[in-house]
Chain A
Amino acid sequence: QKEVEQNSGPLSVPEGAIASLNCTYSDRGSQSFFWYRQYSGKSPELIMSIYSNGDKEDGRFTAQLNKASQYVSLLIRDSQPSDSATYLCAVENTGNQFYFGTGTSLTVIP
């Protein structure tokens, strides 16, 4: 079982819709969770971090964490074509090791 799993997609949503990206992790004791965005041919950039159960909002982005279900999600509201990218979920586990999912490719259709 992989430490972090994501649906690779591709996920396509129309402009203005909500994009929902999901991630599960295996280490129940993990405490830190992150979402990165990576444009094609570019390096990843951190867009959200979340440490507590519940929702964390930052502009059009909302990260959701459910530790009981070992589930992290990222919602992108009012999706724009510029949001088209691969989104990577990352988890810091109890051993302070960092694991990444293989990423979900998102395409926002104008």
Chain B
Amino acid sequence: KAGVTQTPRYLIKTRGQQVTLSCSPISGHRSVSWYQQTPGQGLQFLFEYFSETQRNKGNFPGRFSGRQFSNSRSEMNVSTLELGDSALYLCASSPHRVVDTEAFFGQGTRLTVV
């Protein structure tokens, strides 16, 4: 069974640009959640999608958005990038809930904003 796949693994962008990250969940999983991890702030919850609807949202500005497709694949978009957006972005998939014994994380996308 394939795991959670995130693409790309590494990305370098310039301040002011926008970026789209992709997450392919484990087959059969309908919940996809996104996280930002930085050394200073730690792991922070961005949002969760379930059956193409955003079901949960953390405290991030509107520059951070996402969507989920009918095949449960999810994308996260960050517009007008700032230096502080440099981070490891993780997604996790689960059959039903954000946190679940069957929830697994992808390897992450390392975003560097210069």
Contacts and interface: CB of A to CB of B under 8 A. Distances in A.
Interface of A: 32, 34, 43-46, 49, 88, 90, 92, 96-103
Nearest to A95: B56
Contacts of A34: 99
Contacts of A99: 44-45
Secondary structure call for the A interface: strand
B45 A43 contact: no
Given A98-B45, A98-B99, A45 B58 contact: no
Nearest to B6: A43
A103 B99 contact: no
Contacts of A97: 45, 56-59
Given A45-B105, A97-B58, A98-B58, A88 B99 contact: no
Interface string B16-45: 000000000000000000000000011111
B95 interface: no
Contact of B44 (A44, A45, A100): A100
Interface of B: 41-45, 56-59, 90, 98-101, 103-108
A32 B105 CA distance: 19
Contacts of B100: 46
Nearest to A34: B99
A96 B99 contact: no
A43 B90 contact: yes
A98 B47 CA distance: 9
Contacts of B107: 43
A39 to B, nearest CB: 12
Contacts of B56: 96-98
Given A43-B107, A43-B108, A98-B58, A103 B42 contact: yes
